[in-house]
Amino acid sequence: MTTSTTYLRIEHLRKSFGSFTALDDITLEVQEGEFICFLGPSGCGKTTLLRAIAGLEQQEEGGIVQAGRDISVLPPQQRDFGIVFQSYALFPNLNVNENIAYGLANVKMPRREREARVQALLEQIHLPDIGHKFPGQLSGGQQQRVALARALATEPGLLLLDEPLSALDARVRLHLRNEICSLQRKLGITTIMVTHDQDEALTMADRIVVMDHGRIAQVGTPEEIYQQPATEFVARFVGSMNLLPARVLDRHALMLGRKEVQTPIPMPDCADGTLGFRPESVTLHETPWGIDREQHLMMPAKLEQAQFMGAFVRLTMHLDDEVPLLQVDVPVEQHATLVHSPGQPLWLAVHQSALKFYPADTRECMR
């Protein structure tokens, strides 16, 4: 059994810009060696939180403890981190060796040792031969790898990554995603990355911190965040969940637009809310007769369009004029045998284990 040690503890952090609250009572623990992603829409406070950890923003309230040391009011140079920004931020007039060694400027180290450290870092980022090149001679992806090497030069205890991949094109981004992950695992360095890209967070993080308006909406593993979104906000932001406004009729019946459906999960005692389920949780049927009503929510719908996505087919289905169109992902073979043409009536079934309900008053998942 592995035991985890808390490496970074953030307690009741608050930060405002004028009358605007950017961080509102943030409390979070990060374990040693963990890869954490701060995920959320633009303006939710994720960069401000990262900058507060680095000492680049000073919070008004709350504290930060790193490796048992209270760093709450220390200036950045007295904290122990390496940082990579979205815009590479390499010095254009220094070559790659000098850029990486810059991180070691304040570290007393014999020249040979310094050169060996820089060369070892170049090898770790798989660019052993570019030490004498200047940033302007490198691609965006190469520059970002050099920025990563520079951030790691002092062997810091904490690596902070502020949207490091967003300036890169899609192919390079995917490649660098894997490289950052394998380097992080190899070094075992506690890492926090800011991103607004849910795919990045889901594929890279050990745990994701979803933020909304300066607050933490949910903390969990990628699986937890995807499968059990705790609030309607998280459900909307992560993945492409179908979210339908619903009126509660009784414990086992809902109105979706003008359609009444029976629910296999008991409804709370409230007037209305939002019903949620993922496109891949829906099964398609020509008739309702074979579907287990005790276990499934069933809806009649009409096909609007089908898009071939390679591994599956994404159907857009019309349930009712008063609710949004539904997305349903079906295996290619099922599409071939069952789906014929736009306007076709089909039955949708969602197993009770895949259903979420967010009452309108709390917006918090009731199961």
Least distance in Å: CB of 55 to ligand ATP?
15
26 binds ligand ATP (CB under 6 A): no
* Residue tagged 């409390």 (tokens): 27
Shortest Cβ contact with ligand ATP: which residue? Answer: 47
48 binds ligand ATP (CB under 6 A): yes
Q: How far apart are the C-alpha atoms of 250 and 224, rounded to whole Å?
A: 29
Residues 6+ apart with CB under 8 A from 35: 181, 184, 191, 193, 204, 205, 206, 207
55 binds ligand ATP (CB under 6 A): no
Least distance in Å: CB of 44 to ligand ATP?
4
- Closer CB to ligand ATP, residue 209 or residue 267? 209
Count of residues in contact with ligand ATP, rule CB under 6 A: 11
**Cα first-last separation, the chain:** 30
Least distance in Å: CB of 50 to ligand ATP?
8
Helices 170-187/140-152 angle, 10° precision? 20
Q: How far apart are the C-alpha atoms of 164 and 141, rounded to whole Å?
A: 10
* Residue tagged 């990486």 (tokens): 100
Least distance in Å: CB of 33 to ligand ATP?
25
197 binds ligand ATP (CB under 6 A): no
Least distance in Å: CB of 234 to ligand ATP?
15
- Closer CB to ligand ATP, residue 30 or residue 53? 53
118 binds ligand ATP (CB under 6 A): no
CA angle (193, 131, 139) in 5-degree steps: 55
Q: By the 8 A CB rule, do 131 and 122 touch?
A: yes
164 binds ligand ATP (CB under 6 A): no
Given the rule CB under 6 A, which of 36-44, 95-103, 150-158, 251-259 is the region that contacts ligand ATP? Answer: 36-44
Q: By the 8 A CB rule, do 338 and 346 touch?
A: yes
Q: How far apart are the C-alpha atoms of 30 and 207, rounded to whole Å?
A: 9
- Closer CB to ligand ATP, residue 196 or residue 356? 196
Q: By the 8 A CB rule, do 35 and 21 touch?
A: no
Residues 6+ apart with CB under 8 A from 26: 10, 12, 13, 14, 49, 62, 214, 215, 216
Contacting residue, 36, 39, 46, 158, with ligand ATP by CB under 6 A:
46
Given the rule CB under 6 A, which of 37-45, 91-99, 264-272, 301-309 is the region that contacts ligand ATP? Answer: 37-45
Contacting residue, 30, 47, 236, 275, with ligand ATP by CB under 6 A:
47
Least distance in Å: CB of 353 to ligand ATP?
33
Given the rule CB under 6 A, which of 45-53, 179-187, 223-231, 283-291 is the region that contacts ligand ATP? Answer: 45-53
- Closer CB to ligand ATP, residue 47 or residue 95? 47
Residues 6+ apart with CB under 8 A from 109: 117
The backbone torsions φ and ψ at residue 233, rounded to the nearest 5 degrees and listed phi first, read -60, -50
22 binds ligand ATP (CB under 6 A): yes
Contacting residue, 33, 43, 62, 257, with ligand ATP by CB under 6 A:
43
Helix, strand, coil shares, percent, the chain, to 5: 25, 35, 40
The backbone torsions φ and ψ at residue 269, rounded to the nearest 5 degrees and listed phi first, read -85, 75
289 binds ligand ATP (CB under 6 A): no
- Closer CB to ligand ATP, residue 14 or residue 133? 14
Contacting residue, 1, 3, 5, 17, with ligand ATP by CB under 6 A:
17
Contacting residue, 145, 177, 196, 236, with ligand ATP by CB under 6 A:
196
**Residue 367 per-residue DSSP state:** -
Burial readout 133-160 (b: 16 or more C-beta within 10 A, e: otherwise): ebbeebebbbbbbbbbbbbbbbebbbbb
Comparing C-alpha atoms, which of 222, 301, 227 is closest to residue 257?
301
42 binds ligand ATP (CB under 6 A): yes
Contacting residue, 30, 45, 248, 358, with ligand ATP by CB under 6 A:
45
Binding site for ligand ATP (CB under 6 A): 17, 22, 40, 42-48, 196
